[in-house]
Structure 1
Amino acid sequence: MPKQSKEPCKKEACDIQACLSKNNFLPQKCRRVIELLQSCCEKCEYNSTHCGSVSDLLKQKPK
């Protein structure tokens, strides 16, 4: 049985950083990867240090 990572959403958080870097740090251009992080955080019940900032990123999404 695979051991669960201590930081289950690290990959998604890194993907967001890469996307933001490529897109002038505009969260609206990285909506898909932000949503992937949110989904990961929901699955792990926010038991990852990388989930702390997802709510701030989601607030910046265009309506």
Structure 2
Amino acid sequence: MIIKRAVSLACREDYRHADWVAASKLRHREPTIWRRLFWEHQIRGENDFVRHVDYIHLTLQLH
């Protein structure tokens, strides 16, 4: 949560674009930088860490 807040504050001017904000984001008062279904997760061990790193790598390959 601390990292997410720090990034939000540091980048808020760079990501404040009206044309990036969908109607649903306006309704829910959500910022443009974070996706709705993303939340903080505490890594609970080596296997959990590996799963999350794999997820990040897969996501980067798809984009």
TM surpasses 0.5: no
**Greater C-alpha radius of gyration:** 2
Looking at both structures, which has the greater relative contact order when contacts are Cα pairs under 8 Å and sequence separation is at least 6?
A: 1
Higher-helix-fraction structure? 1
Taking structure 1 as the reference length, the TM-score comes to 0.29
TM-score (normalizing by structure 2)? 0.29
